[in-house]
Structure formats: structure tokens, C-alpha cells
């Protein structure tokens, strides 16, 4: 079993920055990919950024150039650096760990961008 705990969310003004963290614990045999998703009220959950087994990364067009995903394998932690935040980035952000046959999710952390 794998547990994922997100942290780092909060209220920030437009143009500000936040760094989200996702700590993985438990029995982690292998990691195919890890990612960040978000869900705004009344909308479907969407992919924000993902990092693959060999360090490849991909981003939603809406966050390219503003967000950066990274992993510290020694700490079992994944990060999402979010810069130049916009009100439309407001959502609950979820961490995802893909082991191929199984996918795990964190409980989410709220990010609110508002003046």
C-alpha cells in the first residue's frame, strides 16, 4: 500500500508563487510515473504535469512556462513549483503515483489565487 500526502497549498495573490510537495510512503516497488492533477469546482479533474520513470516531463498547455515538476527520489517526494499564478489556477491539486497496475492518489491540497 502506498500513501501520498500533499502540502503547500494556500491563498496567494495573482502573480504569486507556491510550491506543492507530495510525500510518498509505504510499499513502493516501482514508479512508472508521478503527476499532479487539479480539479476546480464544477469541472473535471485535469492533468497539470507528469514526470515519467526516466525523468521525462509533460505539462498542460495552460501551465507551460509557469509550473515546474520535479522529484527527489531520495526523499520520496515530488514537487510542483508554481509561478505567475492566475485566478484560473484555483483548484484542489492532487498527487498521483502510477505503478503500472495500480494508481494511488493523495487527498488533495487547496490552491486559491485571489486578490
Strands 67-72 and 46-52 turn out to be unpaired
Residue 20 has pLDDT above 90, yes or no: yes
Residue 29 has pLDDT above 80, yes or no: no
pLDDT score at 51: 94
80 burial via Cβ count (<10 Å: 0-12, 13-18, 19+): buried
Residue-wise pLDDT for 32-56, tens only, equals 899 999 999 999 999 999 999 888 9
Residue-wise pLDDT for 75-103, tens only, equals 889 999 999 999 999 999 999 999 888 89
Percentage with pLDDT > 70 across the chain: 99
32: region left, alpha or beta (phi > 0 left; psi from -120 to 50 alpha): alpha
Amino acid at each position: 500500500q502506498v500513501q501520498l500526502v500533499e502540502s503547500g497549498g494556500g491563498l496567494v495573490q495573482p502573480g504569486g508563487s507556491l510550491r506543492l510537495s507530495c510525500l510518498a510512503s509505504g510499499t513502493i516497488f516501482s514508479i512508472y510515473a508521478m503527476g499532479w492533477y487539479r480539479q476546480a469546482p464544477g469541472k473535471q479533474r485535469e492533468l497539470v504535469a507528469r514526470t515519467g520513470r526516466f525523468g521525462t516531463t509533460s505539462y498542460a498547455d495552460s501551465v507551460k512556462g509557469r509550473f515546474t515538476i520535479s522529484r527527489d527520489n531520495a526523499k520520496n517526494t515530488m514537487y510542483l513549483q508554481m509561478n505567475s499564478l492566475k485566478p484560473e489556477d484555483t483548484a484542489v491539486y492532487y498527487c498521483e503515483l502510477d505503478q503500472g497496475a495500480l494508481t494511488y492518489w493523495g487527498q488533495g491540497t487547496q490552491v486559491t489565487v485571489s486578490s
